[in-house]
Structure 1
Amino acid sequence: MRRSLLASTAATVVAASVAVAAPAHAQIKLGLGGYMQQYFGYANSDTNVGSSSDAFNGFDVKSNSEIWFVGSTTLDNGIKFGVNIQLEGNTNTGDQIDESFLFVEGSFGRFNIGSENSAGYLMTYAAPDVGLGVNSTSVLTGYIPQSGGFAGAGFFRSPLGTTYVELDRNNDSEKLTYFTPRFQGLQLGASY
């Protein structure tokens, strides 16, 4: 009896949540994407960084890849809800998920909720990455030893420095980010 009651209650809750999730006529768009980068490099360094003076000498291969899962729907009132989950293909940490966040967007602006880059990073205008550049330093530091950022260890996003500002290295930490609507091309953003 008790199992039957629990099962029927669970089924009712699931059915109600599915019914409330989106109106029957709302289009849900799902997407799958990603990228893969492969680098082959050679370095010869006269530094004592690492376990020996030859720690950064020689040839090496580095990889960087992600798979993205995205989804969104727009309600009748024009408010758009979406989700973005990025799975790391190459990681040396226990965190296999790079970013995962929900967004809500409308005439009021846009809110990102979850582990996503900050407003300062997302609103940065910079030259595009071409090959192995300073905006891709997670790969670059594998070949060139660095001992700290140009303006303090926590100011720039990585040890070598980059054109993307990311205070206190909080790029994928849990946060709430708000972007205003654009007024005459001007847009503001803030993260907490």
Structure 2
Amino acid sequence: MKKTLLGTTALVTAGLIAGPALASDPLTVTVGGSVTAGFYVIDSDNLAAGPFAGTSFNDTAVKLVARNIDINAEGTLDNGMVAGVLATLSLGDDWNTNFNNNDATFRELFAYLEGGFGRFEIGGTDGAAFKMHYTSPWFVPGNGVDSPNILNGLASVPLATTFAPAARHSTFSLMAADANKVTYFTPRFAGFQLGLSFTPETTYNGPNPNGIGLNPNNSSIEEVVEIALNYAGSFGGVDVGVDGFYTTGDAPAGFNADPEELGFGLNLGFGGFTLGGAWYQSEDLGRLGVSFPVPGAFGVEEEVWTAGLSYATGPWTVGIAYLQDEISAPGFAPGTSKVKTWQAGGGYNLGSGVDVGLDLQMTDGDATGIFGPGFEHESKSAGLVLSVAF
């Protein structure tokens, strides 16, 4: 998952209402993208609950992820405003998924307008809470412990019942994800910037379904509002980045739920070191991937936190990070689920956007009640990663 932190908006003389002036030249079109591939040796135990408990999985695997093509058209208008369109294509993995997934689909597609007033975005893209968030550092090329592209363990423990919500592996706001929305970012003032997003509804109305919600059957979370504030500055040689966000929406009719997300993040940079972490909490929010919707009556609560430290010198980057996800359903079918993941490793930049690295992961999970009574899982892996950005 690519993370974007909005920087200082250029303070140019421009108004919200423009006349008929057109750009003196056509918008400039650039094409780029990224591909991350890894070869892993994996050792996992106890992959499932029930009759499959105790089974082992020892194998090698090739992971091909972050297969994105970014097409950006941008130009400066005669009145000083910057206008553009960004389209991100996610490439299919050919025969490896259902033998026919060889198409490219738009993961994001949105237009934007930027000037002294700030920045407007409209279309299918992540909202302000996502784009302004700080978290634990990524030090393995193309991969990290928070919102990983590659995770060689169970993202959540096997469910004892189809009514149990699946866990997440991210401190980012995903309630509205890439659904069509409108977002406004203020200019950065004294290091501070405010972001606001509004998503009318989160069904398949954008370039890609967001994969999170309360009910997949032709209804979804509606009127999602995101409020985010971050700060970027330096104090005595220490670079500081901090943010906080709140997201809320309306549940579909008939659900006793009030879905909410709350999160904070912090990065400190000094002498090549980056120390970062984040905390996230949600209520009445379940991730799709189960056979039935997750009613708010379960009172589902989820908490995720992460921390990590990286060091960069010249072309080298090394680090270690940890993430823990805990989800509880205190309603009429109570249970808890906990997934813990360690990552260590690093990378070396060969130049021209080409990085190689070593990725070491260790994941374990356990569950009680509705999530799988007495279930425990452990997975360890080591991989060589090649990431190419162009």
TM over 0.5: yes
Residue 128 (structure 1) shift = 3.9
Give the 3-state SS of the residue equivalent to 2:150 in structure 1: helix
Give the 3-state SS of the residue equivalent to 2:192 in structure 1: coil
Give the 3-state SS of the residue equivalent to 2:44 in structure 1: coil
Q: Is the 8 A contact 1:100 1:114 kept in 2?
A: yes
Match of 2:38 in 1: 39
Identity level (%): 35
Say yes or no: does 1:166 pair with 2:173: yes
Judged with a 3 Å threshold, the aligned counterparts in structure 2 of structure 1 residues 139 and 24 are, in CA distance, closer, same or farther, namely: closer
Superposition pairs of residues 1-192 of structure 1, within 5 angstroms: 23=22, 25-49=24-48, 53-54=55-56, 56-64=57-65, 65-90=67-92, 96-131=105-140, 132-140=143-151, 143-147=152-156, 159=168, 161-163=169-171, 165-168=172-175, 170-192=176-198
CA displacement, residues 161-192 of structure 1 (integer Å, 9 cap, x when unaligned)? 234x2142x32111111101111121000111
Structure with bigger helix share is 1
Please give the root-mean-square deviation of Cα atoms over the aligned residues, in Å: 3.0
Inter-partner Cα distance in structure 1 for 2:46 and 2:92: 27
**Structure 1: tracts of 5 or more residues without a match:** 1-20
Q: Is the 8 A contact 2:88 2:107 kept in 1?
A: yes
Q: Is the 8 A contact 1:104 1:112 kept in 2?
A: yes
Judged with a 3 Å threshold, the aligned counterparts in structure 2 of structure 1 residues 77 and 58 are, in CA distance, closer, same or farther, namely: same
**Structure 2: tracts of 5 or more residues without a match:** 1-19, 158-164, 199-390
Structure with bigger strand share is 2
Judged with a 3 Å threshold, the aligned counterparts in structure 2 of structure 1 residues 24 and 181 are, in CA distance, closer, same or farther, namely: closer
CA displacement, residues 121-166 of structure 1 (integer Å, 9 cap, x when unaligned)? 11112344222421342421xx201227xxxx69xxx72x234x21
Judged with a 3 Å threshold, the aligned counterparts in structure 2 of structure 1 residues 33 and 128 are, in CA distance, closer, same or farther, namely: farther
Judged with a 3 Å threshold, the aligned counterparts in structure 2 of structure 1 residues 41 and 138 are, in CA distance, closer, same or farther, namely: same
Match of 2:206 in 1: none
Judged with a 3 Å threshold, the aligned counterparts in structure 2 of structure 1 residues 99 and 25 are, in CA distance, closer, same or farther, namely: same
Q: What's the TM-score, normalizing by structure 1?
A: 0.71
Inter-partner Cα distance in structure 1 for 2:188 and 2:60: 48
Which amino acid is the alignment partner of residue 189 of structure 2? F
Residue 22 (structure 1) shift = 7.3
Inter-partner Cα distance in structure 1 for 2:23 and 2:110: 24
Size of the aligned set, in residue pairs, is 160
Inter-partner Cα distance in structure 2 for 1:95 and 1:27: 27
Q: What's the TM-score, normalizing by structure 2?
A: 0.37
Residue 43 (structure 1) shift = 2.0
Inter-partner Cα distance in structure 2 for 1:81 and 1:99: 17
